[in-house]
Amino acid sequence: MNKNVKKDKILIIDFGSQVTKLIARRVRELGVYSEISNLKEIKLLKNFENIKGIIFSGGPATVTKKKFPNIPYKIFKLNIPILGICYGLQLIAVNFKGKVKFNKRNREFGRSTLKKNSNSPLIKNFFSNKKSVSVWMSHQDAVTKLPLGFKKIAYTEESSLTIIENKKKKIYGIQFHPEVTHTDKGKQLIKNFVFLICKAKKNWHVQNEKQKIINQVKSVVKKDRVICALSGGIDSSVVALLIHKAIKNNLKCIMVDTGLLRKNEFKYTYYIFKNYYKINVKLINASKIFYKKLKNITNPEKKRKVIGNLFIKIFEKEARKFKNVRYLAQGTLYPDIIESRSSTGSKTSKIKSHHNVGGLPKKMKLKLIEPLKDLFKDEARKLGGSIGLIKKISSQHPFPGPGLAIRIIGKITPEKIKILQEADSIFINELIKNKIYHKIWQAYAALLPIKTVGVMGDSRTYEYTCLIRAVTSEDGMTADYFNFSKDFLDKIGNKIINGVKGINRVVYDITSKPPSTIELE
Ligand code: XMP
């Protein structure tokens, strides 16, 4: 729990749903601060000041078993409005003498039609005129007996108690997921809970946090030195700029050129940070050693490991050359923090460390400083914009730590990297030129390890296949492939084949995530 936030906040208790983070994002998008907590923290929490509402997330457990993660009853006595989603609804039901049953016939996955039964502030402007709305479900258990003191607000064919309300106690339960975009007007329902029921004030805006974050860095670091691995990605760029604003030249940045970035990207980032922002950046050209260590490696996980370990080794060696450094700055984001702990508070899930700095603090005896640890990626992006990070960096697509290595399937060679950089650059520039770049969450070109026969002019060719991928997404957890026009695809195919020697076939990846992932390896 962040004790520094004195604003109105909505507390989300995580029971392990895959989409809990989306609940927090939806609330923040409304201009109200939200935080995700787990059962262990809630049991210890004494001060509920500023908490205007509590949301129980969904989760994989079932209340039909003898033992299940339950909410401490004190939470229901706080007189703070509560919204239970999916498993959260079922928890509310069993705590107030309702019944929940597993029934094959009641289970619903995907879209369902929700129908209105009675009025409630929770559903203001939520239903269309026909008194029905499409919602997204993912449940096997269903509430089969209304809990004491509750009223039925809405239902579906399969489950008769899909929204329930106890107006006096301000407790609400819903079986579907308003946080996912597949639920029509899901944002409206969350808005109703936050403003009409919780009466929270709209006073969270990440741009207003910048001075607070800068002051926090100043007060922690004082006159000590901070070191930072700068890649040119959004997270490390925002971190470097923020810390530089706080402590000026006591920040030392190291850029390790792995040779695995996009065409000209490394030089550009170095130039901007060194000459435009006047930040102390040391450049290490390590591409040769990276290529050498990656030679003949085809296994994706092995590639990641080799890159990660080598990066650490080089960074560590360079960092030791700076004297009197006490802190290591890292671009850890809020989702990384949430993912690093389990919903029940046990230590079963491992910390997800960034590939490029994981393990460093322990070895180097440096203290960690993570100024973005309470923010989502899009908030870090906005914060970057408000402290002067140039748009080309702050609005760029995400780029994976291992870089082009996981976009060259199979063996990596300097020749293949060059071919891919050229193809990728043509693709991305066309997206920008045609004003499509910002409609897409992530786009890239990849090189497949197959050569096929083609014909160019009067000659037969035998060259590589380039795969292009472009997806829309909110957070990278799920993604849909982008629907390009045939004209655009024609243009891309032609430009890549005519412009890049070594490629004679271009294919477009039409899979979504799931079942595929965004990257190929
Ligand atoms: P996948 O391929 O898992 O990717 O659907 C989801 C998002 O994560 C990015 N990604 C990475 N980012 N280090 C990173 O910093 C990595 O090792 C890594 N692997 C995947 C990917 O680009 C996408 O945005």
Residue 190 has pLDDT above 80, yes or no: yes
Q: What is the mean pLDDT of the chain?
A: 92
Query: Is 205 a catalytic site residue?
Result: no
Question: What is the Å distance from ligand 1's center to 399 Cα?
Answer: 7
**256 forms bridges with which residues in the sheet?**
284
Among residues 35, 108, 165, 179, which one is catalytic? 179
Question: Residue 357 and residue 311: Cα distance in Å, rounded?
Answer: 8
Domains of the chain: 9-197 (3.40.50.880), 206-394 (3.40.50.620), 407-508 (3.30.300.10)
Q: What is the pTM of this model?
A: 0.84
- Judge if the beta carbon of residue 485 lies within 6 A of ligand 1: no
Query: Is 244 a catalytic site residue?
Result: no
Write the pLDDT tens digit of every residue in 251-267. Answer: 999 999 999 999 999 99
- Sole residue written with tokens 């050209």: 285
Higher per-residue confidence, 138 vs 498: 498
Question: Residue 506 and residue 496: Cα distance in Å, rounded?
Answer: 8
Beta-carbon contacts of 48 under 8 Å, excluding residues fewer than 6 positions away, are 78, 80
Query: Is 177 a catalytic site residue?
Result: yes
Q: Which atom of ligand 1 is nearest to the CA of 399?
A: 22
Question: What is the Å distance from ligand 1's center to 73 Cα?
Answer: 40
Question: What is the Å distance from ligand 1's center to 327 Cα?
Answer: 26
Residue nearest to atom 6 of ligand 1 (CA): 476
- Predicted local distance difference test score (pLDDT) of residue 350: 35
Determine the residue type at 53: G
Among residues 35, 108, 165, 177, which one is catalytic? 177
Residue nearest to atom 17 of ligand 1 (CA): 401
- Predicted local distance difference test score (pLDDT) of residue 371: 96
CA dihedral for 372, 378, 379, 381, sign (positive or negative): positive
> CA distances (Å), 440 to each of 345, 425, 428, 508, in order?
36, 16, 11, 15
Question: What is the Å distance from ligand 1's center to 403 Cα?
Answer: 10
Write the pLDDT tens digit of every residue in 13-35. Answer: 999 998 898 999 999 999 999 99
Write the pLDDT tens digit of every residue in 398-415. Answer: 999 999 999 999 999 999
pLDDT-wise least confident of 8-17, 65-74, 364-373: 364-373
Write the pLDDT tens digit of every residue in 496-520. Answer: 999 999 999 999 999 998 889 999 9
